Amino acid sequence: MRKQNVVETEPLLYIVQPKAMRAAAHMQETFMWTSRTQQEEEGNSNDERGGEEEPTEFFAKKEFQAMALDERLAFLAELPGHLPPLKCQFVMKDKSYEGILKKCTATELTIADEQGNETVIGRAQLLAVTMIGFVQ
């Protein structure tokens, strides 16, 4: 093998790269916290706020599978606005329906299927509600 003479040459293209400046982050310096008992001592209880109830807290603390049938129906009827509609399976004694719960009263349920057809079923006949997934 023959060794070639290496000749150093200047680069043919220069790429100008800016020097990165370190970003200054504006962080929170103080934090003030009051517990619920301190707020009640100061007079900020529910009675003074006009008697408004806090939004259904028991829904946030329970999983859907752990809820009772009435709680599941109430959750589906009052689904938070930021969630898309939930497709569920409604199991009755002789038949089951898949769709979205549109309306729930004490005696009947209104269920809409994928085509938009609404079906009214009796509340007393309902045995179980199973969540299938979100509707796109």
**51-103 tens-digit pLDDT:** 445 555 544 567 878 888 888 888 888 887 788 888 889 998 888 889 988 88
What confidence score (pLDDT) does residue 58 get?
Answer: 47
What confidence score (pLDDT) does residue 34 get?
Answer: 75
Q: Which two tokens stand for residue 13?
A: 């293209």
pTM: 0.52
Cα 48 to Cα 42: distance, rounded to the nearest angstrom:
11
What confidence score (pLDDT) does residue 136 get?
Answer: 63
Domains of the chain: 68-136 (2.30.30.100)
Which residues are within 8 A (CB) of 134 and not within 5 positions of it... i.e. 6 or more apart?
A: 83, 84, 85, 86, 87
Q: Which of 66, 136, 128 is nearest to 98 (CA)?
A: 128
- What is the tens place of the pLDDT at every residue in 3-55? 677 777 777 777 777 777 777 777 887 877 777 776 676 665 445 445 445 55
What confidence score (pLDDT) does residue 66 get?
Answer: 83
* Whether 96 contacts 90, CB under 8 Å: yes
Provide Rg for the chain, Cα atoms: 31
What is the H or E stretch that residue 126 is in? Answer: strand 126-134
* Whether 101 contacts 109, CB under 8 Å: yes
